[in-house]
Amino acid sequence: MERIDGSTRLFGIIGDPIGAVRSPEVFNAMFMRQDVNAVMVPLHVGTADLRAVWTGLKAMRNLEGVVITMPHKTPAATLVDRLGRTATLIGSINAARREPDGRWQGDTFDGHGCVEGLRMRGHEVAGKGVFLLGVGGAGAAIAVALAEAGVARLVVQDTDAEKRDRILSRLTVAFPDVVLASGAIEDNAHVDVAINATPLGMKEDDPLPFDPALLDRSTLVVDIITKSTPLLERAALTGHRTHGGQHMHHGQAIGVARFFGFDLDAR
């Protein structure tokens, strides 16, 4: 922290609440390790103030980029000048950067983080069949990233049928080569990967999002929640391989860092 001086390049993370965000620690450790004179600071901003803060941030000439977290991911997508392909498809961003021409570019790395996290653990999704439960903000981003990564078949399910059908119709147009369907887990026992992208498992007494016992023993069971969840504990008992949310988070950080011009894992 003593290294911050007048020439330090600024990055921020905007959210509400902000206390639990991890990006400042991840990015500042990277800046230290790589001897980059930059810092990421938390910016606690309420929904009503997002537009005013955004205008201010754009006018700070040494501010190069921001990470965007809840509840700003969707409204922030309307504040940037340009959107990346995934952000355009799902209508939300989790990062924005100042371009050389002064415009702001936004994109989302939530979904790519999931795919990257799977790859880092040796799980390639290209050509595979995937079941995805939950297409809220994170789930929709994961659906797009899976399609972009070349899954052969993607089955999505959500308690909100309208939301489910909206993402399916967008994916149908954007990724004609992917076989898309909606359906229940019990009708999709043979998928290679089953992903929980709902919040079920965050709270102590949540029901299981789905029962891994319904799946083939070879199916990889994935949760995007970072702590150990009843789903993953149950999947271990039923003899399935499991993959926790920490890998997605690391994958997201890698994607955002690359978007900002850094290699997170470089020494």
Catalytic residues: 73
CB of 26 to a copy of itself, least distance (A): 10
Strands 82-83 and 104-107: parallel
CB of 10 to a copy of itself, least distance (A): 6
* Residue nearer to a copy of itself on the CB measure, 29 or 161: 29
Query: Which residues here bind a copy of itself, judged by CB under 8 A?
Result: 1-8, 10, 13, 16-22, 24-25, 28-29, 31-32, 39-46, 49, 52-57, 59-63
CB of 70 to a copy of itself, least distance (A): 12
* Residue nearer to a copy of itself on the CB measure, 7 or 159: 7
CB of 87 to a copy of itself, least distance (A): 23
- R_g over Cα of the chain: 19
* Residue nearer to a copy of itself on the CB measure, 56 or 261: 56
CB of 244 to a copy of itself, least distance (A): 21
Task: Report the C-alpha gap between 89 and 105 in whole angstroms.
Answer: 15
* Residue nearer to a copy of itself on the CB measure, 6 or 122: 6
Task: Report the C-alpha gap between 151 and 23 in whole angstroms.
Answer: 29
* Residue nearer to a copy of itself on the CB measure, 42 or 230: 42
